[in-house]
């Protein structure tokens, strides 16, 4: 009898040995299926009912306040003297001397600089000689007139004594023409005298213009000429000095944006600051709003002039200033944050979950809810009132309250309406839900 096991015995042992392993795998697979089913049912119940149970919306609120509202318009510009004069020269020549410097105070008629006058003096001497020659010519023509008239008188006396026989008529006509020519020469000589006198006066005027004088009482802002410099006055007079009449009274020229110019009017008060004195605020008042527009980099602005008192002379021409123009002031009005006017409560979660779809619909992403039509916004900088609504918190629930909005400074807005009182909690944002 052989000790080698048969093929049938080997197969039987293999089947008997693997049977416990297969049983354990089958039990494990059923346990996994039960756990997955339990998780699916639990997830379905949570998505279907859990998010709607014991959840309360939370809101951020601010109390309705009562106070003063000040609406301003910001603009930037530069300080300029009210009357600034550029002093030039009508004559060409060489600057002989300069008598003033920057920041010097000058009075009207004071000499600021002088040109070299040697050439002008020569022209005056020449004009005086021409005038003397013209006057001598007048004396000569006067003598000629007297001589021609005497000759005509003698001829007429001879004709009278001879009964018209002598002299001949042609001779008398020639003598009369000679008298008329002499009279005309005298008139021409006298006109030449007037012309010579006018030339002399013009040269004398040029001599006075060689002394460049101040046309106003003021301060020298800029001196642009030095002794020895040549001045060429051809088509345009060169600027030698820039004067400011009175720095105690200045003007601030700012550019107001076209969106704000409708609120800016003459007489409104304003304040401005300059970089030189960042902690100091200067008062001003609008004196003019120009109708002409200025376009820079496709931005339309309107030049606005503000009158400024500068008694301490701390402000200087050319300084860049930032102005705040007060366009409206409201006292003791109800104020609400602008965020409250933009707030809208979110849609309830129950309405979305009950719309159908079960577990699959709850797991799929929802389409965005339709936005409510935008309301007409109120005037952001004051103006006509507009009907709007705000939401207030009453018993933990948002309640819409219709209001009429007025002026706004960009952060707070004036509101009026029934049931409004200071301290009323106004909803400005939604913080979600809490279990």
Q: What is the pLDDT of residues 327-339, one digit of tens each?
A: 988 899 999 999 9
User: pLDDT digit string (tens) for 376-409?
Assistant: 444 445 555 667 889 988 888 888 999 999 888 8
What's the whole-number average pLDDT of the chain? 83
Q: Do 91 and 223 fall into the same domain?
A: yes
Strands (E), 200-357: 211-213, 218-223, 230-231, 239-244, 249-257, 269-274, 277-296, 299-309, 320-337
**Which stretch of 98-102, 160-164, 378-382, 399-403 has the lowest confidence by average pLDDT?**
378-382
Residue 359 has a pLDDT of 44
In a domain, 304, yes or no: yes
Q: Do 166 and 201 fall into the same domain?
A: yes
Of all residues in the chain, the percent with pLDDT exceeding 70 is 80
Q: Edge to edge, what strands does the sheet with 84-88 contain?
A: 84-88, 239-244, 218-223, 105-106
Q: Do 192 and 305 fall into the same domain?
A: no
- Domain holding 92: CATH number? 2.40.50.100
Q: Do 340 and 278 fall into the same domain?
A: no
Which residues are bridge partners to 251 per DSSP? 80, 307
CA distance 156 to 170: 12
CA distance 250 to 309: 6
Q: Do 133 and 182 fall into the same domain?
A: yes
In a domain, 361, yes or no: no
Q: Do 230 and 197 fall into the same domain?
A: no
Q: Which of 394, 396, 395 is nearest to 419 (CA)?
A: 394
Number of domains making up the chain: 5
Q: Do 293 and 404 fall into the same domain?
A: no
Q: Do the Cβ atoms of 247 and 310 come closer than 8 Å?
A: yes
CA distance 389 to 319: 46
CA distance 259 to 425: 33
The domain boundary, picked from 331, 357, 389, lies at: 331
User: pLDDT digit string (tens) for 268-281?
Assistant: 999 999 999 999 99
- The pair of structure tokens assigned to 369 is 């809810």
The domain boundary, picked from 159, 185, 209, lies at: 209
Q: Do 100 and 226 fall into the same domain?
A: yes
Q: Do 286 and 314 fall into the same domain?
A: yes
Q: Do 393 and 409 fall into the same domain?
A: yes
Q: Do 173 and 313 fall into the same domain?
A: no
CA distance 266 to 325: 11
Residue 353 has a pLDDT of 46
Residue partners of 358: CB distance under 8 A and separation at least 6: 44, 48
Q: Do 189 and 229 fall into the same domain?
A: no
Q: Do the Cβ atoms of 254 and 268 come closer than 8 Å?
A: no
Q: Give the mean pLDDT of 63-78.
A: 92
In a domain, 409, yes or no: yes
Kindly report whether the global pTM for this prediction surpasses the value 0.85: no
Residue partners of 43: CB distance under 8 A and separation at least 6: 359
Tell me the CB-side half-sphere exposure of residue 241, using CA atoms within 13 A: 29
CA distance 16 to 89: 129
Higher pLDDT, 259 or 1: 259
Residue 221 has pLDDT above 90, yes or no: yes
In a domain, 358, yes or no: no
Residue 31 has a pLDDT of 74
In a domain, 413, yes or no: yes
State the residue range of the domain holding 286: 73-82+246-331
CA distance 307 to 369: 55
Residue 217 has a pLDDT of 93
In a domain, 359, yes or no: no
In a domain, 285, yes or no: yes
SS3 265: coil
In a domain, 11, yes or no: yes
Residue with tokens 């009278």: 160
Give residue 322's Cα distance to chain centre: 11
53 — pLDDT class (breaks 50, 70, 90): very low
The domain boundary, picked from 269, 304, 331, lies at: 331
Residue 409 has a pLDDT of 85
**Residue 269, Cβ neighbours under 10 Å: how many?**
14
SS3 347: coil
Residue 30 has a pLDDT of 72
Residue 320 has pLDDT above 70, yes or no: yes
41 — pLDDT class (breaks 50, 70, 90): confident
């Amino acid at each position: 009898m052989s000790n080698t096991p048969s093929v049938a015995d080997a197969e039987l042992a293999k089947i008997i040995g693997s049977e416990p392993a297969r049983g354990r795998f089958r039990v494990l697979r059923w346990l996994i299926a039960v756990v997955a089913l339990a998780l699916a049912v639990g997830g379905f119940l949570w998505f279907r009912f859990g998010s709607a149970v014991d959840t309360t919306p939370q809101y951020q609120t601010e109390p309705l306040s009562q106070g003063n509202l000040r609406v301003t318009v910001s603009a930037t510009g530069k300080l300029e003297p009210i009357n600034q004069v550029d002093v030039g020269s009508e004559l060409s020549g060489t600057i002989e001397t300069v008598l003033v410097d920057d920041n010097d105070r000058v009075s009207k008629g004071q000499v600021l600089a002088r040109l070299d006058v040697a050439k002008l003096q020569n022209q005056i001497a020449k004009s005086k000689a021409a005038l003397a020659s013209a006057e001598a010519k007048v004396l000569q023509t006067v003598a000629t007139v007297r001589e021609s008239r005497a000759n005509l008188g003698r001829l007429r006396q001879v004709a009278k004594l001879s009964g018209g026989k002598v002299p001949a008529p042609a001779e008398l006509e020639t003598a009369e023409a000679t008298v008329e020519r002499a009279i005309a020469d005298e008139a021409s000589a006298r006109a030449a005298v007037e012309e010579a006198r006018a030339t002399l006066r013009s040269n004398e005027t040029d001599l006075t213009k060689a002394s460049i004088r101040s046309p106003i009482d003021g301060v020298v802002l800029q001196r642009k000429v030095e002794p020895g410099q040549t001045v060429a006055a051809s088509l345009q007079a060169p600027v030698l000095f820039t004067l400011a009449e009175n720095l105690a009274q200045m003007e601030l020229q700012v550019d107001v944006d076209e969106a704000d110019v409708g609120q800016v009017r003459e007489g409104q008060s304003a304040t401005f600051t300059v970089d030189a004195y960042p902690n100091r605020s200067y008062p001003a008042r609008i004196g003019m709003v120009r109708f002409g527009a200025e376009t820079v980099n496709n931005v339309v602005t309107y030049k606005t002039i503000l009158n400024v008192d500068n008694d301490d002379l701390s402000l200087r021409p050319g300084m860049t200033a930032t102005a705040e123009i007060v366009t409206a002031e409201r006292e003791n009005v109800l104020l609400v944050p602008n965020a409250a006017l933009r707030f809208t409560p979110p849609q309830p979660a129950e309405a979305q979950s009950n719309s159908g779809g079960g577990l699959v619909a709850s797991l799929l992403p929802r389409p965005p809810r339709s936005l409510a039509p935008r309301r007409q916004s109120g005037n952001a900088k004051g103006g006509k009132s507009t009907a709007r609504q705000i939401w207030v918190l009453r018993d933990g629930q948002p309640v819409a309250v219709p209001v009429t909005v007025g002026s706004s400074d960009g952060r707070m807005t004036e509101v009026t309406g029934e049931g409004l009182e200071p301290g009323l909690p106004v909803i400005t944002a939604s913080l979600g839900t809490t279990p």
